Structure 1
Amino acid sequence: CINQDKKEIPPGIEPSTQVLNIRGNALKLLEDNIFLQLGITNLQRLYCSYCSISEVQPRAFRRLTNLIELDLSENALKEIPTQSWKYTKALMKLSLSGNPIKLIRAGAFKRLSFVTNLHLAHCEIETIEAEAFLSLESLLELKLDNNRLTYILEPFIPTEFTSIE
């Protein structure tokens, strides 16, 4: 499904699929229940970079309880899809790099206590609110390079992690 300019995730994907790479398509939207409707809820890794996604609806990842890696980089997201994290509690790696995100609000990553790697490089981030990363209890790597940071409210990050760029 890579680089095929598809406007939607194609039906007929095997229900046992654990890795789905839909990189380089023209999806624009991840709608509520899309993976549930397609019967692909066993996903562990989902790669949706370069898909022109501007919106992730709150229930887009419903029933993706095994999802450990999500790549939404190089899309058109203007804000962190906080409400959709309700269904991705096992997530460990999250990439939102290359999106036009300007502000990271407090609680933007709530419910993501297992995330170890968070990539927010090459966005347009200007401000990070206090406690934006506070619920990221397992965070080891945070990439914030090539942003427009002018203001960071404390407390900024959890106390124990290994790398920040």
Structure 2
Amino acid sequence: MNMSRFALVVCPHCRNPFIIEPGPRIVSCRNCNKRLEAARLKVFFSSDNFQEVQAARASVVAGLSGDSAGFEEAAPRLGRDVMERIGERLQERRFIEDKRRVNEKMEEEARQTRKKGQQAILREAFEELSEKGDVAIEEYWAKVSFHGIDRLKFDQWVEKMVETGVAYSPKYGFLRKS
């Protein structure tokens, strides 16, 4: 990092922009709580003026949310070179659209989980997958893991299905409806 007092960085995991001050070797993302090495983070903007760094962060957030007018509004305060650098890294339409879709899907999945309950989700997912024949346990896990079900609970559920005769295992790693 440069010798500026404040720096705008973006979490490589969740793409959340946040401001850090030089000094700590390890920082935590304010959004996903991942611990990150400060020296390995890409600095998008830095300054001794906190308001400038806040404006840069606001423009990045606007750019990520698809608000190109808000993104461009910060240009006079930051300078074209900074805006172009931020724009190249964060303003791609595909990234913005993908992030929006992922957020919508996660919100919908969270609502569904709260409404139904985990057992109903596990049961419905197995029914849906078993219509095609044998169910790969990892495919089953991938389908239900987004609902906030932890792996231990999932493994216990699979064991319970086999023990009670709801399903059986024709070969290692697969389930078949009984």
> Structure 2-normalised TM-score?
0.21
Q: Find the structure with the greater CA-based Rg.
A: 2
> Structure 1-normalised TM-score?
0.22
